[in-house]
Amino acid sequence: MALATPARPAAPAQTGPPRHRTTGSAKRARWDMKYSPYLYIAPFFIVFGIFGLYPMVKTAWMSLHDWDLIGEHTFIGFDNYVELMKDDYFWNALVNTLGIFVVATVPQLILALFLANLLNRTRLRGKTFFRMAIFVPNITSVAAVAIVFGMLFQRDFGVVNWLLSFAGVDAIDWDAQRWSSWTAIAFMVDWRWTGYNALILLAGMQAIPRDLYEAAALDGANHWRQFWRITLPMLTPTFVFVVLLSTIGGLQLFTEPLLFGNGNMRGGTQREFQTLAMYMYEKGINSLNTAGYGAAIAWALFVLIGIIAAINLAVVRRTVK
């Protein structure tokens, strides 16, 4: 910006009004130096304030009330949280969320590691193409993915059951049991996120100095040994970062299980795959008069993610040392 140029030193001959003008522009310049940085960072804070901070504060306030979305609000203190601790369905949703997270994330990260290692080979042809290709699922709309996978995992006309029928397996009603619904949802999550994680891991792998591998090769270590002894240990910080990202995403899982369950907030007739986010929506939005309770679930979810992130951080600190 032009204003940021420092004021020209005043010529000694000049006195009176011109001098006055110089101090004016110097003042402006100083003002500019002091305050414009706030203006530059303002957009983030404004957007965060409106869409991040305000909803959080409002949600906290709501969670202390018996809050009817289109009716009255009564202050009840921490009753919602006390109730929540005794609520079977809350704990059920928590188990589902963590369960789906484990079922989805473990194979996902192993596969991502494998893919990244493959793409890291120096002699691979069409490297850029493959790197782009594995990222494409990630930019596909979640709803589209969920709808398509929902059809693949249909009971009567689904492709998966059709393929399984060749192996002599009877038609599986995917959304009727815990294990099958979790598997189907894990497939959707993995399809979208494996490539994304593979790219991050690949970036981590490329930061490992080449000469380590060359030295290892000279010592007679094969590819497999190099992978275990060099790649994996050097990759740990990246790996923990990927785990952290997956955790945050996994705990907020919503669209995939919702659309898999045909748009019903229950997530299966016996809540087999209702996640915390879905339970929050059920209580907070779906049944009008329990919005305060829904807000309490939102805060419980927030605290939970905080705890898990803290554990992750502790692990990173230890491994990086």
Residues of the shown chain interacting with another protein in the complex, contacts defined by CB under 8 A: 34-35, 38-39, 42, 45-46, 49-50, 68-71, 150-151, 154-157, 173, 176-177, 262-264, 266, 269-270, 285-289
Number of H helices, E strands in the chain: 14, 2
Residue 106 CA to residue 111 CA, distance in Å, equals: 9
Map tokens 């490329």 to a residue.
206
Token pair in block for residue 147:
């709808």
Closest by Cα among 142, 131, 132, 239 to 189: 142
Output the six-digit token pair for 9. Answer: 């030193």
Nearest by Cα to 154 from 262, 20, 305, 21 = 262
Report residue 255 as tokens.
């669209």
Question: Of the two residues 172 and 230, which places its CB atom closer to another protein in the complex?
Answer: 172
CB of 269 to another protein, least distance (A): 4
Residue closer to another protein (CB basis): 150 or 250: 150
- The distance of closest approach from Cβ of residue 271 to another protein in the complex, given in angstroms and rounded to an integer, is 8
Closest approach of another protein to the CB of residue 308, in Å: 28
Please identify, using beta-carbon distances, which residue of 45 and 114 lies nearer to another protein. 45
Pick the closer one to another protein by CB: 69 or 98.
69
Minimum distance from residue 22 beta carbon to another protein (Å): 21
Q: Name which of 155 and 223 has its Cβ closer to another protein.
A: 155
Minimal distance, residue 166 CB to another protein, in Å: 21
Q: Which of 210, 197, 195, 227 is nearest to 131 (CA)?
A: 195
